[in-house]
Amino acid sequence: MNINTQQVFKQMFEILKDFLEKSHQKGIHPVFEKYFTRSEIIEILTFVYGGNVEKPFEIVKLRNEQSLEYLSTLNILSFYLDTWEQEQNKNIALNIVSVHQTLKQLGLQTHYLGQKSLKDWDEYDHNNYRNLQRKAGKPQRVFGIYDAMVKQDDVLLVDKQPFRFYESEKQATEAMDEFCKQGSYNPNEVHILSLYKPI
């Protein structure tokens, strides 16, 4: 799944979350009634009600069906959106160990990228490795439009990440230039930064 498809799904889930919040619907959708294991239910309850969930709900005494009465579809969606965000915010840097692990996972231990020094990689090598990472289900480097005050070292610390990310710096630059021409951004107040996100 490419980064744009992921982001469209994420935006759709955010829209659904907003709809569920505004509709004040109670309970969970029937599809989830027998979906979760006991430990998953406890994990979601802990997310919703905090670390002391055991005592107020006496979960040890409740069956799964009874525990689910304290949850809603909105709670489940919120939990998994939060989990997704945490996974995406893991910054996994490109290093020789991760290259060898990816190649080993794919059964490509003799691949030329494993023999080539990272400092000698060119654009073709990076594109080739991104494709291998995608096959292995690993994070890839993506590019976003950030406020000019944000430094590269702070991309994971900003309160709000860019609305969307791009697979190449060129795509991000073209999008930023287009947004600036439309007046959405002031060219002096934004720039392109990168981070690693799951593919």
CB-based contacts of 48: which residues, under 8 Å, 6+ apart?
Answer: 70, 71, 75, 78, 79
For 147, the 3-state DSSP assignment is strand
How many CB atoms neighbour CB 124 within 10 A? 8
Per-residue pLDDT of the chain (199 residues; tens, 9 = 90+): 566 777 788 889 989 999 999 998 888 888 888 777 777 888 888 888 876 655 555 665 677 777 788 889 999 999 988 887 766 544 345 678 888 888 998 999 999 999 998 888 887 888 788 778 778 877 678 899 999 999 998 888 888 888 788 878 888 898 899 889 888 889 999 999 998 776 5
**Whole-model pTM?**
0.48
How many CB atoms neighbour CB 138 within 10 A? 19
Structural tokens at position 187: 């060219």
Angle (nearest 5°) at CA 150 between 144 and 154: 90
